[in-house]
Amino acid sequence: MTWQKVVDVADLEVGAPALAELDEPVCIVRVDDDTVYAVHDVCSHQYYELHEGWVEDATIECALHGSMFDLRTGQPDSLPAVRPIPTYATKIADGAVWVDIEQQTNDASVPRH
């Protein structure tokens, strides 16, 4: 496992997606004081960056065509997306958000468009 610090928790607003450039582009979302999710930043329907979208509870909506994804599982919750997006291990430690993209938490394929 290779944990990488991506942002200080204080700099990540609840409900505001952020981009982390690791070996793959990763969308980081803080949904409450103690919970942060990391998903692949590219929508599985058509190439568009998810950090440009909107968050409600534990769901992110792609700003291009409105596909919605569960941040916990990567599963699409609405059309036009039908394929899940990768989700990654996250933790909060020492006042920062850490992500390990080598530890994918579902079996979704990385979107390639």
Please report whether residue 24 resides in a domain.
yes
Give me the residue label for tokens 């990391």.
38
pTM as predicted = 0.94
Please report whether residue 112 resides in a domain.
no
Please report whether residue 111 resides in a domain.
no
Please report whether residue 81 resides in a domain.
yes
Please report whether residue 9 resides in a domain.
yes
Give me the number of domains the chain comprises.
1
- Convert the pLDDT of each residue in 48-95 to its tens digit: 999 999 999 999 999 999 999 999 999 999 999 999 999 999 999 999
Domain that holds residue 26: 4-104
Is the model's pLDDT at 103 over the cut of 90?
Answer: yes
3-state DSSP assignment of residue 96:
strand
CATH number for the domain that contains residue 54: 2.102.10.10
Distance CA 58, CA 97 (A): 17
- Convert the pLDDT of each residue in 5-44 to its tens digit: 999 999 999 999 999 999 999 999 999 999 999 999 999 9
Is the model's pLDDT at 1 over the cut of 80?
Answer: no
Q: What percent of the chain has pLDDT over 70?
A: 98
